[in-house]
Amino acid sequence: MGWLWHALAIAGSMTWEVLWALILGFALSAIVQAVVRREAIVRLLGDDRPRALTVAAGLGAASSSCSYAAVALARALFRKGAHFTAAMAFEIASTNLVVELGILLALLMGWQFTAAEFIGGPIMIAAVAVLFRLVLRQRLLRDARSQADRGLAGSMEGHAAMDMSTTGPGSWWRRLTSPRGYTAVSHIYVMEWAAIWRDLAAGLLIAGALAAWVPGSFWQSFFLTDHPTWSAVWGPLVGPLVAVVSFVCSIGNVPLAAVLWNGGISFGGVVAFIFADLIVLPIINIYRKYYGWRTALVVTGVFYAAMVLAGYAVELIFDVTGLIPGTRNATVIEPGISWNLTTWLNVGFLALTAVLGYRFVRSGGLAMLSMMGGGPTEHAHEATSGEHDGHHPN
């Protein structure tokens, strides 16, 4: 069983290395979501002009990092009046431009990949907007809205329906530091972890297995590393396809991206691979339920084309500026944990998790967990309205 233990040990060590960064990212996301109401977002996303798309990207980046919840939330925004393209921009940003993804990329792969994420994301959103204008006809949009209004369940519907932001008078800081704000942050934080942990665990296990079992010569051959020009062309084309069959979200993709980068995939291929969490097979099936087959195929095709274009653009920009790393030494950690700065950071942030978890349990949060996978109704919101209207423990 040594081969299995080696893979699990690598996955466990990678988890320990990135744990504090994930906790920090989810905590920051929870704080932002606690003070921004869903209705305010819808009002700002009424068209597909650059200003609305910029706002959509900014609000999405401050929102959920769970791919399934992001897709469900985009449908909810579309049903409430947001423009389809703006809702898709929100969806892209809320799973691929979130702070925890950037921190994770910097820790495992280097700051260049974090910069590539935040440069490539807006490029992908711009490409999606242009392509939608070319191929998304009004009749198709009407059919998509009609299908969306049917309210067929996809995944993480209950989570997407929960608007746990705080209301009431006063500044956002006053609302955030109130007992209601504390409760809201704890609820959002725990629910985000509940939404993401399966995909994150899958990504870490897959990365550990590939790092332990697949020889480097296979990746070098597959990614055409002996032919630099063809490798740069091939990487963004094949990167999303590798992601499609891996079935994990953007956060879970990062450890696997580190393995692929060490194996020889191009810089732009890494970017396209990470962005492709929105076209994995289960999510394509959700698009079918939400918007119908024709719109699902258009969305999938447009997203794939935009990912490839973003990969090529990032490859060109970073090549011209000389910022593509010259060595392939992403952190695919060997088994073992030691008392170092990472361990102390993990201890501190785990203490923060314990505090927020305690508040979550004490304020009735456990009842919400059973609603996370429910249908796209407002019942989930009813579970939280009591706390945010004042009925909560002090």
pLDDT tens track for 165-206: 666 666 767 777 788 888 888 888 888 787 777 777 777 787
Position 378 scores a pLDDT of 46
Residue 393 lies in a domain: no
Residue 262 lies in a domain: yes
Position 385 scores a pLDDT of 40
Position 253 scores a pLDDT of 78
pTM (two decimals): 0.77
Residue 265 lies in a domain: yes
Q: How many domains does the chain contain in total?
A: 1
Task: Establish how many alpha carbons lie within 13 A of residue 145's alpha carbon, considering only the half-sphere containing its beta carbon.
Answer: 16
Q: Residue by residue, what is the 3-state secondary structure of 46-59? A: CCCCHHHHHHHHHH
The domain in which residue 12 lies consists of: 2-388
Position 165 scores a pLDDT of 65
Position 315 scores a pLDDT of 96
Long-range CB contacts for residues 165-173, cutoff 8 Å, separation at least 24: 165/33, 165/34, 165/35, 165/36, 165/37, 165/38, 165/388, 166/34, 166/35, 166/388, 167/37, 167/388, 167/389, 172/35
Residue 375 lies in a domain: yes
Q: Which residues contact 173 (CB under 8 A, 6 or more apart)?
A: none
Position 115 scores a pLDDT of 96
Closest CA to 269 of 278, 260, 280: 260
Residue 221 lies in a domain: yes
Residue 11 lies in a domain: yes
Enumerate residue ranges in the chain where pLDDT < 50. 378-394
For 320-353, how does the pLDDT look when each residue is reduced to its tens digit (9 = 90+)?
999 999 888 766 555 556 677 778 888 998 999 9
Residue 175 lies in a domain: yes
Residue 394 lies in a domain: no
